[in-house]
């Protein structure tokens, strides 16, 4: 999968998932606290988020340090490549990671906002037989947090066992209140089948009826140049 390439102009997204080596907890904590400073000096960067994860493979409500991620958008393909192959940030990750996965993304659709911004402009169209990626993220109203997690618990981590799911990562900017899920699927058909599963539909209906979110984003992407490894699977 690492040799595929998606032609096109405009903004390019980058997702990086990192599983830190045992014994690197201090470095992992330092990155999570301070990583925004080296990132924001990256040439060509249009948007970025430093993301932590929960325990239990990233989807638990208890924070953990071992798995983390970053989501970025760049103004050009060249800027994205420079970051992935030449930046201090990526050198830091590679020297401290047990596993690291990265991919470039072009947006197929995007609805909503992240910190008031649209992180990636739509520049691509879907291909039915090709992999597809999804990002859902939300700012949960503090007064609604307990009710949200009551409905979310039944579907936490179910992505990982779903047919056709290549990668699933639970991420967040803030424990309990600012959450995101990033997934890559073998096809749009596989992704839609999970989206329409009983537990997932019930959770979506409950969140909409309850007005749990102050801000939300739903985006789909064409993932390409997938490289590295995640949860034992190599790309």
pLDDT at 157 over 90: no
Q: Which residues, including other chains, have CB under 8 Å from residue 61's CB and lie 6 or more apart?
A: 54, 149, 175, 176
* 136, 218 contact by CB (below 8 A): yes
Q: Tell me what pLDDT residue 155 has.
A: 59
Q: Tell me what pLDDT residue 3 has.
A: 37
Determine the average pLDDT of the residues in 150-168.
74
pTM of the model: 0.88
* 129, 185 contact by CB (below 8 A): no
Q: What is the per-residue pLDDT across 4-33, written as a single tens digit (0 to 9) for each?
A: 444 456 899 999 999 999 999 899 999 999
What are the distances in angstroms from CA 96 to CA 14, 15, 103, 206?
Answer: 19, 18, 19, 40
Q: What is the per-residue pLDDT across 191-225, written as a single tens digit (0 to 9) for each?
A: 988 887 756 666 667 666 667 888 999 999 999 99
Which domains, from first to last, does the chain contain? 12-227 (3.30.70.100)
């Amino acid at each position: 999968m690492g040799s595929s390439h998606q032609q096109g102009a405009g903004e390019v997204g980058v997702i990086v998932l990192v599983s830190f080596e045992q014994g690197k907890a201090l470095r992992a904590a330092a990155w999570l606290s301070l990583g925004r400073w080296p990132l924001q000096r990256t040439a060509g960067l249009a948007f970025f988020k430093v993301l932590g994860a929960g325990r239990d493979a990233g989807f638990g409500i208890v924070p953990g340090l071992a798995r983390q991620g970053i989501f970025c958008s760049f103004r050009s393909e060249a800027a994205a490549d420079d970051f992935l192959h030449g930046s201090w940030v990526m050198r830091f990750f590679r020297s401290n990671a047990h596993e690291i996965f990265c991919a470039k993304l072009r947006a197929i659709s995007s609805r909503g906002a992240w910190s008031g911004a649209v992180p990636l402009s739509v520049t691509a169209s879907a291909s039915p037989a090709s992999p597809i990626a999804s990002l859902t993220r939300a700012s949960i109203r503090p007064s609604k947090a307990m009710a949200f997690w009551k409905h979310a618990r039944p579907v936490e981590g179910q992505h990982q066992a779903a047919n056709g799911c290549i990668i699933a990562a639970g991420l967040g900017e803030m424990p309990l209140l600012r959450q995101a899920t990033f997934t890559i699927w073998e096809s749009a058909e596989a992704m839609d089948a999970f989206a329409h599963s009983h537990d997932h539909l019930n959770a979506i209906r409950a969140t909409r009826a309850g007005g749990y979110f102050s801000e939300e984003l739903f985006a789909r992407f064409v993932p390409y140049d997938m490289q590295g490894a995640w949860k034992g699977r190599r790309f």
